Structure 1
Amino acid sequence: MLPWLVRRRRSLLAALLLACCTVAAGVGLLSVAGWFLTAAFLAGAKLAFDLFAPSALVRGLALARIALRYAERVTGHGATLDLLADMRTAVFGAIMRLSPAQLAGYRDGDLVARLAGDIDALDTLFLLVIVPALTALALGAAYSLIAGAWLPPAGWLILAAMLVAACIVPYCLARAAGTSGRHAQEAASAARAFVHEAVEGHADLAAFAAEPRAQARFGDAVRSLAGTRDAVAAAGSAGQFVQQLIMGLCLVGLLWLGLGAFRSHELDGAVWAGLVLGLLALFEVLGPLMRGAARLGTAAAAGARVRALLREPPALRDVPDVRALPPRGALRAEGLGYAYPGAAHPVLAGLDLRVEASELIGIVGASGCGKSTLLALLMRIHDPSEGEITYGGVPIRLAAQSELHARCTLLSQHSPVFLGTVRSNLLLGDPAADDAKLWQALEQARLADFVRTLEQGLDTWVGEAGRLLSVGQARRLCLARAILAPAVVWLLDEPTAGLDEPTQQAFFSDLGRAAAGRTVVLATHARLPAGAVDRILRLEGGRLHADSP
């Protein structure tokens, strides 16, 4: 977390300073109050004792403690939220750099768990460990100097007690609770992933009457999580017990030392009472530290998972000296070959393809023949095992990925409709588009008439994953979004999968008009109507062959 702590150092240091001032005000309040009440009692009816200055000081410290506590909470929590936002932004950026093959290596819901749960587990580090530990050490050292000015042995006693309570005990507690904390974080991540999988596969669970087994597995995961968290909580309770024990021993020692000094007239009774009460206020800062130390195992496990994700190198990188792509050009593949890791045979071998600018071609073939793989290679989602792909004569492996993806867009059967409105989904294609441009894209995608029937038009909520739309309407909404995008090359991967025959034919018939001069590579196993594309190629045996249109 060091890079993010350094980035937010000003707000974090402000929170730390306010925390120190808050504890100092609390210690001062109890110390002055103890001295004042004791001195007033000892003074009795003497008229010479000043009641007004100490009472005003008590009121001032009480009000200062309240104001400082509020400012410390606002500043500390604000800094922590900013810290977590920075971390989530970095983790999301790391996820976005991963290739689909790398993403496939993670369990469903695992990345969400790292982005949410793991980073949430790290928020305890600053508020419950760093701030209390540094505050305890700083105020403990200062208070030991103050106490030592009146009673030198008491100063050493307080310093030793604070070092043990703020350093040694939290360290031992973190070591003891480390295994339980790691297991707790792993169990929490597994439970989140299981929930994600159960939600995604709920229809299949219901269809195969597997819901009781899923509930039983989830119950086991939750019980495992509860057990590990109970162990962490027990460690925290043990730490607080040790804290109270150290405070009690230190208090007894201070009373014993003060009693001897008071009897020998080396220490005033009122000062002695003030030191004792101030010590009680000083030890209050250690409560959060013990709870935080017990959770360090959880935070360490979460940090390791986040660090592993941040350090995973992307499978595809830009070359140091990238070459610019022309605005338009032919898309060409020569001698293309690709084999999935561990596969016995390549899915593509010696494939050649040339698509001229503004040409529409269809690639047909049986399921699993490599159509999706070919489109992924053209988009540089993967790099080919052999051969080369060029756009406008420039090898795409020498171009910046961001520029290539600005030239090309991929529309597949899995293209998502995001949670939001019709408008928000369309603006992903062109954030600057006005209403006229949005309606024009909907007209080209043959969806405008339907959107006009909606009560709120473009601002109609489409639901999670577009559940308020039919499959065909969702597919056309994705097509409208592609129309708005500046890409001049469309790669369409089974865009009509799941649609009935009439809807498929209508989609293909409208494709040429919607593409409006763009280059289109359409991979499908559906029947293409006459005139839908300029050429049809069949993918068999890892190569492309001419097919009758």
Structure 2
Amino acid sequence: MKAILAFAPLFARLKGAMLLTLLLSLVTLAAGIGLLGLSGWFLTAAALSTLGSVFNIFAPSAGVRGLSFIRILARYGEKLSGHDMTLRLLSDLRAWLFARLFPLVPLARRFGRGDLVSRLLADVEALDTLFLVALGPISTAVLAGAAMTVVLALLLPGAAVIYAVLFFSAVLLVPVGLVLASRRAGAEVVAAGAALRQAVLDGIDGHQDLVLFGARDAAVASSDTAARRLSAARRRLGRNAALAGAMVQILAGGALVGALLVGFVALEAQQIDGPLLAGLLLAIIASFEASAMLVRSATRLAGAAAAADRLQAIATSAPGIAEPAAALPVPPGGEIRLEAVRFGYDPAHPVIDALSLAIRSGECVAITGPSGAGKSTIAQLLLRLVDPDAGVVRLNGADLRDVAGAELRRRIALMTQDAPVFLDTVRANLRIGRDGADDAALWQVLEAVQLADFVKALPGQLDAIVGEAGRTLSAGQARRICLARTLLSEADVIVFDEPTGGLDFEAESAFLVELPALTRGRTAIVITHAVVPASFDRVLELRAGRIAERAHVPA
């Protein structure tokens, strides 16, 4: 539960909306209790009255109608306010989470995809509804129970203590016991859900290989194991909730029987009349409606506690790359040097070893080689997504470990094979490269990548919406949007990591032929499997973690 308290500042920012939701929830519950109690008194009094002509039915009838309307309106207001608050909290939680995920890039080395999806979706959802389905109902039930205890103390004193003991056992002790009993099962549900997502994602992504290599049955078995684990954890939660629900009903019955016995004594002593006793008994039943909801709330609270622990594990993780204590300035220019660099995702098995490389400012250089040779690792080192295990990576003589992250990202840009086109306007997609770019700069870069005519033909031109992941564009057009975005940046060095992935041979060749001219005046490093055209200054070949310059044969 301590992890949930760590999110108190986010909840505190919405305290006004939470108090309004709590007040409306309390009004709804109070109106329900009053409605049932008044109805019980009214019907009993009407049945017992022998003076029908003098019994005033209008005031109680108006009261019943009034409480009904109040309950309906308060319930509507509670839903409106509660869901608005939840959506605002969801936004704050996601912003909080993303702010803590970015320094941990690359995430694949820390979290599996299924685990990451769980943290981004299920864990955040468990917290954003925490007040609506757990904290709010608990608070409302406690306040309603306190008010009902006061009413009984005034009208039926002997029943007040019995009611208070049993009601607060139902709204406090049972939920607390349920949370404690379900904590391990709640954590298991979260972990098993992440494992199942990972198994399903792996099965979908690798389906073709799994079929071709006869590993489909093993993948299905892995998914089944994760599903059974999740099902078993959910059954444990369900059993706990069922036992807690039964306990609440027993306590509610005990409170009703206790009040009834005390009421009979008070009725015989003429300390209370029959209609009032009937109204109080029905009000007691209505008040326990709040306690019945708390079983579900406690179950959600157990899941939220596990989710909060996992999200806090992100918040307390050390950044993958540490910012320098005292950042040093970087001289202008785009000279790149790798000096005796060694790096391995497993340090015992280096991907590159004793690698030295020098690229002059303004050169356009291609780095080729077989898969697994370490080409993309060079890109990660240049962007300082990873640090070398040994050796130094320099930009204009400055060790990248001494350069502030913001300065490095301003000086070196990256375009990868899976650079995304976002579901947004052409303008918004381009301005990711330079936020303040005006329309003239946007048209200029579109002209450079030969997309200006295409964009001019779109409805809205720069304001035209491109589909999610660029689905309204051809593969070549999507690549050129990403290229334009990268060129729009003011970086001195641009790294292209397999920028022609997914293109056919003709589009690939056209793309690479144009790159040296498009990046003229800046250092361009192109990591590729493709045939390198003669327009490049040099071609370097990486094999077994070592690099060599090879004769540049025109394509």
Class of the TM-score when normalised by the shorter of the 2 chains: 0.7 to 0.9
Task: Say if 2:334 and 2:493, in contact at 8 Å, map to a contact too.
Answer: no
Shift in Å at residue 419 of structure 1? Answer: 5.2
Separation of aligned partners in 1, 2:55 and 2:22: 38
Matched, 1:21 2:1: no
More moved, 270-279 vs 45-54:
45-54
TM-score normalised per structure 1:
0.88
Match of 1:94? 100
Structure 1 residue aligned with 2:73: 67
Where do residues 95-244 of structure 1 align in structure 2 (5 Å cutoff)? 95-100=101-106, 102-205=107-210, 207-208=212-213, 214=219, 217-219=222-224, 221-244=226-249
Contact 2:339–2:355 under 8 Å retained in 1: yes
- Residue pairs, 1:293-442, within 5 angstroms: 293-325=298-330, 328-345=333-350, 347-349=352-354, 351-356=356-361, 358-418=362-422, 425-431=429-435, 433=437, 437-442=441-446
Instruction: Return the offset for 1:48.
Output: 5.8
Q: Which deviations, in whole Å up to 9, do the C-alpha atoms of 1:106-145 show, x marking residues without a partner?
A: 2223211211122223345322322222222222122112
Give me the whole-angstrom Cα distance separating, in 2, the residues matched to 1:92 and 1:487: 25
Distance of 2:19 and 2:117 partners within structure 1: 31
8 Å contact kept, 1:512–1:532: yes
**C-alpha separation between the residues in 2 aligned to 1:234 and 1:209?**
40
What is the CA–CA distance in structure 2 between the aligned matches of 1:77 and 1:344, rounded to whole Å? 52
Distance 1:368 1:47 in 2: 96
Cα distance in 1 for residues equivalent to 2:149 and 2:504: 81
Give the superposition deviation at 1:453.
7.7
Name the counterpart of 2:263.
258
Looking at structure 2, the residues matched to 60 and 353 of structure 1 have their Cα atoms a distance apart, in angstroms, of: 83
Look up the equivalent residue of 1:26 and give its one-letter code.
Answer: G
State the Cα distance separating 1:542 from its structure 2 match.
5.2
CA displacement, residues 205-243 of structure 1 (integer Å, 9 cap, x when unaligned): 455576666556545544543444344334323322222
Q: Tell me, in whole angstroms, the C-alpha distance in 2 between the residues paired with 1:367 and 1:67.
A: 65
Ranges in structure 1 where 5+ consecutive residues have no aligned partner: none
The answer as to whether partners of 2:336 and 2:359 remain within 8 angstroms in 1 is yes
Structure 1 residue 502, shift from structure 2 partner: 4.7
Distance of aligned partners of 1:477 and 1:202 in 2 relative to their CA distance in 1, 3 Å threshold: farther
How many angstroms apart in 1 are the aligned matches of 2:152 and 2:173? 23
Partner residue of 2:253?
248
Displacement, 1:474? 3.9
**Deviation, structure 1 residue 447:** 4.4
- Structure 2 gaps of 5+ residues are none
Q: Report the Cα offset of residue 352 of structure 1.
A: 4.6
> Sequence identity of aligned pairs in percent?
41
Task: Give the whole-Å Cα distance in 1 for the aligned partners of 2:483 and 2:464.
Answer: 18
* Aligned counterpart, 2:511: 507
| Alpha-carbon shift at residue 346 of structure 1 (Å) | 6.4
- After TM superposition, the structure 1 stretch with the greater mean CA deviation from structure 2, 359-368 or 503-512, is 359-368
Aligned partners of 1:278, 1:158: CA distance in 2, in Å? 12
Report SS of the residue matched to 2:324.
coil
3-state SS of paired residue (2:147): helix
Q: Deviations over 1:408-431 (max 9, x none)?
A: 111233333445676654343345
Q: Aligned partners of 1:483 and 1:117: how far apart in 2?
A: 38
* 3-state DSSP of counterpart to 2:318: coil
Within-5 A mapping of 1:7-46? 7-45=13-51
User: Contact conserved, 2:114 with 2:196, CA < 8 A, in 1?
Assistant: no
CA-CA distance at 1:547 after TM superposition? 4.5
- Classify 1:267/1:438 alpha carbon distance in 2 versus 1 (closer, same or farther; 3 Å): same
Give distance in 1, aligned partners of 2:236 and 2:131. 22
**CA offsets 1:241-291 (integer angstroms, 9 cap, x no match):** 222221111111101101001101122333222211111111111122111
Q: Do the aligned residues in 2 keep the contact of 1:254 with 1:276 (CA within 8 Å)? A: yes
CA distance in 2, matches of 1:196, 1:372: 24
Tell me if structure 1 keeps the 8 A contact 2:42–2:275. Answer: yes
Contact 1:21 1:68 in 2 (8 A): yes
Contact kept in structure 2, 1:379 and 1:408, CA below 8 Å: yes
Q: CA deviation at 1:503?
A: 4.2
Find the aligned partners of 2:459 and 2:74 in 1 and give their Cα distance: 52
Give the letter aligned to residue 101 of structure 2.
I
Give the 3-state SS of the residue equivalent to 2:524 in structure 1.
strand
Q: Is 1:280 paired with 2:285?
A: yes
Residues paired across the two proteins, number: 546
RMSD: 3.2
Q: Distance in 2 between matches of 1:283 and 1:346?
A: 65
Cα 1:218/1:156, change in 2 over 3 Å? same
